[in-house]
Amino acid sequence: MRQTEQSKWIEKGPGFTAGLSGLRQALGIKTASAGLVAAIFGCSGPALIVIGAANNGGLTEGQTVAWLLAIYGLGGLISLIMALYYKLPVTGAYSIPGAALVAGALNTFPFEQAVGAFLMAGAMVFVLGITGLIGKVMRWLPMPIVMAMIAGALIRFGVGAVTSIEKLPIVVGAATIAFFLSMRFLRAVPPVLTALVVGLLAVTLTGGFQGGEAAISFVAPEFTAPVFTLDAFLAIAVPLAVLVIGAENAQAVGVLYAEGYRPPINAMTVISGIGGMIAGLMGGHNANIAGPMTAICSSDQAGEDQAGRYAATVVNGVLFASFGIFAGVAVPLIMALPGPLVGAVAGLAMITVLLSAFQSAFDRNAGYQIGAFVALIVAMSNVTFLSISAPFWALVAGAAVSMLNERVVVSKPAVAPAS
């Protein structure tokens, strides 16, 4: 088991010198392949969710590039810092359910207010990490209620994948069929990647590119000045901070414990807060410790030697950061695709997010079932009270109903679901 020394605030690790000196020996085919798989997972469907959110919010290509640069560039940097300093497979990226939450919020909030909320969410995570108040917050907001809110807010994106077929039947239909066939017969390839490739071929054959060849070029990032509002704080910042701490960090910690590591919990939370604030300044919703990528890089697929699996996180970090740097080339290409195709592929990519959210929300062993159902229907209603949108009220209503009608479940805390 890889240990980390505890200090009052931030855990102490072996240090960057030790991490760099041992990297050559730790790097091998298995660690490299695990890092590559984690990067492909994070750079395919999740990127389309972000790009779909940018489309829905009417962002410019430059703002979309800045968003991707923030979350991928900083996510990769977090991986490199945590892996090389602690010699642990603690992997950075961003919250995928958080990106989907922002996608819904951009229908209500101007992007500059969302950017202000990103900064506030990062500051909240940082303060909760540095003060050790995380446990109290999560007791007040149980994970089933949080994930029910996410499921209710995101269900319309799954429905949107279906309605997109009506708008562009040949292209979207081909991509959708390819997605499910790939899921069945090509398990080594992310099905969303197969859907995107088939969709690209269908668009090329039907001449459906928007803007022609002129749109396919390099676009420089365009940063957005933040605007701070109470409504955006309650509707975006609070749910986003809860997701980063309660879903991403909690899952990563659980996975690392299960693999025999002792994770630096305070450091993971603090760096997620710092990543959130810097990403917000750049126009991205958060850069934080990522549960799914940590699970891939810390598994036995990254090699038999536990002490060397941090090399998989290093590989993932380099690839993630590279994707962020070259987002200026990728975004114009994807933006040239028909809107229904982008929406459909993003909706297909959200299937696992929605399944995970529903499973976590309505797990009887986790409790809070009535509160979770209330949170689900309030979030689905898309109501607005006092100029505050549905996600916040879903959390309030779900927590209130559970406090009135349900007992707290006394059991081992479940690991948060993959996101």
Average pLDDT over residues 229-233: 92
Q: What is the pLDDT of residue 95?
A: 86
What pLDDT, on the 0 to 100 scale, is given for residue 84? 96
| Residues 40, 193: Cα–Cα separation, whole Å | 9
Taking CA atoms, 229 is separated from 98, 243, 371, 387, 388, in Å, by 19, 20, 28, 11, 10
Sign of the four-CA dihedral 339, 66, 72, 39: positive
pLDDT-based confidence at residue 280 (cuts at 50, 70, 90): very high
User: Does the pLDDT at position 408 exceed 80?
Assistant: no
Q: Quote the pLDDT of residue 79.
A: 96
- By three-state DSSP, how is residue 272 classified? helix
Give the pLDDT confidence of 242-272 residue by residue, as tens digits.
Answer: 888 866 787 787 678 878 888 888 889 899 9
> How many angstroms separate the Cα of 141 from the Cα of each of 57, 127, 195, 247, 331?
28, 17, 36, 12, 36
Once rounded to an integer, what is the mean pLDDT over residues 51-55?
84
Residue 5 DSSP one-character state: B
285-316: pLDDT as tens digits: 999 998 778 888 888 778 888 899 999 999 99
Task: Please tell me the predicted confidence (pLDDT) of residue 132.
Answer: 67
Per-residue confidence at 139, pLDDT binned at 50, 70, 90? Answer: low
375 closest CA partner among 156, 145, 151, 139 = 145
Q: Distances from the Cα of 269 to the Cαs of 78, 244, 302, in angstroms?
A: 12, 9, 24
The pLDDT of residue 215 is above 90:
no
Residue 60 near residue 222, CB atoms below 8 Å = yes
Amino acid 128: pLDDT: 84
Tell me what pLDDT residue 302 has.
83
Q: Model confidence over 193-208: pLDDT tens digits?
A: 788 789 888 888 887 6
What is the rounded CA–CA span in Å between residue 336 and residue 211? 6
Phi, psi (5° rounding) for residue 284? -110, 155
Among 133, 152, 352, 157, smallest CA distance to 246 is for 133
* DSSP three-state, residue 216: coil
Provide the pLDDT for residue 266.
Answer: 84
User: pLDDT over 90 for what percent of the chain?
Assistant: 32
HSE value, Cβ hemisphere, 13 Å, CA-based, for 192: 23
Q: What are the CA-CA distances from residue 308 to residues 29, 97, 276, 291 (Å)?
A: 12, 30, 28, 19
Output the six-digit token pair for 374.
């209330």
Q: For residue 334, is pLDDT > 60? A: yes
pLDDT by residue (tens digit) across 6-23?
A: 445 678 899 999 999 999
- Please check the confidence at residue 419 and state whether its pLDDT lies above 50: no
| Chain mean pLDDT for the chain | 82
Distance CA 334, CA 173 (A): 18
Give the pLDDT of residue 195. 85
Judged against a pLDDT cut of 50, whether residue 177 lies above it is answered with yes
